[in-house]
Amino acid sequence: MIDMHAHWRPAGVAEAMRSRTKEPRIVKNPDGTEIVKSRMGDQPVSEAFDDAASYIAQMDRTGVKVSVLSLLGQYCWVESQPLETSIHLCRLINDDFSAICQKYPGRFAAYAAVPLVDIGAAADELERAMKLPGIIGTQLPGNAFLTSKDAENMRPLMEVANRNKAMLFIHHGPRPGDPFPKVGGDTDNARRRNGTLDMQASLSSVMVTLCLTDYLAAYPDVTVTVHNLGGNIPYEVERMDHRCLLDTPKEELPSSRFRRAKVYVDCNSFGPHAIEAGVRLYGAERIVCGTDGTAFGVDWTLKAVAESEIGADAREKILSGNAAALLAQRGAAAQRQKAAA
């Protein structure tokens, strides 16, 4: 298995978390023990961060050959700090990611963190990070692509990504300053509403922007992956086709445009029936494996793909074949750029 959706909790930001006044932050209990306080609860500092050796041990236990690392959502706060803070932390994280990739060759690749408070600075950091061994692109928040108007603001970064033949991982999340989560904790089923209903609807909007507009046409050398099967699109596309035939019958059907768009999706968190729907819409060649980087996620994904009625060839493509081809393509591009430098 090649895991294209493997989150990481960087210990390098611990010192910055000790000076924060809001979550996530590190504080001391009455007994003097340091804990990380976040909206997910409290956790001892000794258990709150990842280390490569333990991560690889988990990969080996669960059959993961390669993990493509990206910041866990609760650590994406680094990208929204004032520029003088966020640029320092992003560089620290990216240098650490690259060091991990070099220390364990063949086991890791990584998506860079970028200071999203300033898209020009984010583009500059991506340019720098793409020269680091192991860095294949960057993770970006879904809210930046909810509409084509939102996506316009990302063009400086997209130009750098295209020039470097980068891979972009678009993950549900806010831009700096966006209210998040959208549903307050005092609402019934807040976790279900935020973690499924809003997330999937938002990812669907991202896919509409990327696949049903010409936004990506200017960036033919960028590879884009959206997580969680690209939202609810596999279930909603028949409704979209129906409305298209009624409202704009001369327009190409949305299903055709989704199918041929240059956007990949991962199958993180979904079961066999959803994966079957994804294969029917996108084709197995456009789906990669994703697990959130947890042992539970690996077990869930392996079981879901195994139980999907999609055939052995499609299973192989999803679990490793597609990702291996993408990573090899990125590696070849990096070698050409290095030789030309």
Calpha distance 95→101 (Å, rounded): 10
Q: Which pLDDT tens digit goes with each residue over 262-305?
A: 899 999 999 999 999 999 999 999 999 999 999 999 999 999 99
Token pair listed for 148? 């084509």
Residue 341 has pLDDT above 80, yes or no: no
Give the percent of the chain with pLDDT over 70: 100
319 contact partners, CB below 8 Å, separation of at least 6: 1, 2, 289, 302, 305
Averaged pLDDT, 73-102: 97
How much is the pLDDT for 5?
98
Mean pLDDT, residues 190-216 taken together: 97
Average pLDDT over residues 124-133: 98
What is the rounded CA–CA span in Å between residue 64 and residue 60?
6
* pLDDT at residue 339 is higher than 90: no
How distant, in Å, are the alpha carbons of 4, 100, 107, 310, 312 from that of 66?
8, 12, 5, 23, 21
Measure the CA–CA gap between 111 and 319, rounded to whole angstroms.
19
How far, in Å, CA of 284 to CA of 152, rounded?
30
* 3-class SS of residue 331: helix
Confidence of residue 335 (pLDDT cuts 50, 70, 90): confident
Predicted model pTM: 0.96
Half-sphere exposure for 8 (CA within 13 Å, toward CB): 29
**Residue among 212, 264, 202, 218 nearest 237 (CA):** 212
Sequence-ordered strand ranges (E) for the chain: 2-8, 25-28, 34-38, 41-44, 66-71, 108-112, 135-141, 167-171, 223-226, 263-266, 287-288
Q: Coil, strand or helix: which one is 103?
A: helix
pLDDT digits (tens, 9 = 90+) for 137-155: 999 999 999 999 999 999 9
Backbone phi and psi for residue 266, each to the nearest 5 degrees, phi listed first: -105, 165
Cα separation values, 101 from 55, 75, 97, 263, 290, Å: 12, 20, 6, 25, 19
Over pLDDT 90: what percentage of the chain? 92
Contact 5, 13 (CB under 8 A): no
Nearest to 4 by CA among 316, 289, 309, 238: 289
Q: How far is CA 336 from the centre of its chain?
A: 26
Write phi, then psi, for 5 (nearest 5 degrees): -135, 75
Q: Please give the residue that has the higher pLDDT: either 152 or 334.
A: 152
Nearest to 141 by CA among 89, 70, 46, 197: 70
What is the C-alpha to C-alpha distance for residues 65 and 106, in angstroms, rounded to an integer? 8
pLDDT the model gives residue 334:
86
CA dihedral (277, 282, 285, 288) positive or negative: negative
pLDDT at 230 over 80: yes
Look up residue 25 and give its two tokens: 């932050």
Average pLDDT over the chain, rounded to an integer: 96
Token pair of 147 as six digits: 């509409």
Q: Which of residues 151 and 337 earns the better pLDDT score?
A: 151
**CATH class of domain segment(s) 2-7+71-340:** alpha beta
Q: Is 235 exposed, middle or buried (0-12, 13-18, 19+ CB in 10 A)?
A: middle
pLDDT band at 211 (very low <50, low <70, confident <90, very high): very high
For the chain, the structural domain boundaries read 2-7+71-340
